[in-house]
Structure 1
């Protein structure tokens, strides 16, 4: 159960790293992103596809570029991450005595 969550978080981290690269270097292609991040081409391509489906990037003849929705997403990102962290903090079992109840 936790392993699955950790894999999802790792994938989200990759998607956000790819998005950050697009924001900072647009237009940018798969090969450059792969070389700079160390992620294999297929993983970068998958992240780009996910980001495109979310309307956060779009393809161009020179590489991936941001969309009108990118700025709003980035503006809201920290707050959403903080909310998730709070939820995860609330899920911790601090004391074994709570379990033994």
Structure 2
């Protein structure tokens, strides 16, 4: 059960890393992203598609660019991650007590 969640978290981590690099180096294309991250192009393409579908990036003639929605995500990212950590620690504590 938790193996799937771990895989999802790893995938989200890759999506966020792609988004971060796009924001830092925009506009940037798939090939350059693949080189910077040392990740196969098909995985970069998938992450870009997901991030575009969620509205965090948009395609431009010269490569991907971050949107205002990406800025909003990065502004609250540390807080959001901390909230998830608190939930997981709570889960751990409740399981250890039983």
In the superposition, the TM-score normalised over structure 1's length comes to 0.90
Is the radius of gyration larger for structure 1 or structure 2?
Answer: 1
Query: Where does residue 57 of structure 2 map in the other structure?
Result: 57
Name 1:68's counterpart in structure 2: 68
Shift of residue 10, structure 1, vs aligned partner: 0.4
CA RMSD of aligned residues (A): 1.2
SS at match of 2:55: coil
Segments of 5+ residues of structure 1 without an aligned counterpart are none
Distance 1:37 1:10 in 2: 14
Aligned partner of 1:27 in structure 2 is 27
Aligned structure 1 segments of 4 or more residues deviating by more than 4 angstroms: none
User: Which residue matches 1:8?
Assistant: 8
Give secondary structure in 2 for the equivalent of 1:92: helix
1:79 aligns with 2:84: no
CA distance in 2 between counterparts of 1:81 and 1:51 reads: 18
Distance 2:75 2:30 in 1: 25
Give how far 1:70 is off.
1.6
Consecutive unaligned residues in structure 2, runs of 5 or more: none
Counterpart CA distance in 2 for 1:68 and 1:75 is 11
SS of the aligned residue for 1:65 comes to strand
**Residues paired across the two proteins, number:** 97
1:68 is displaced (CA, Å) by 2.0
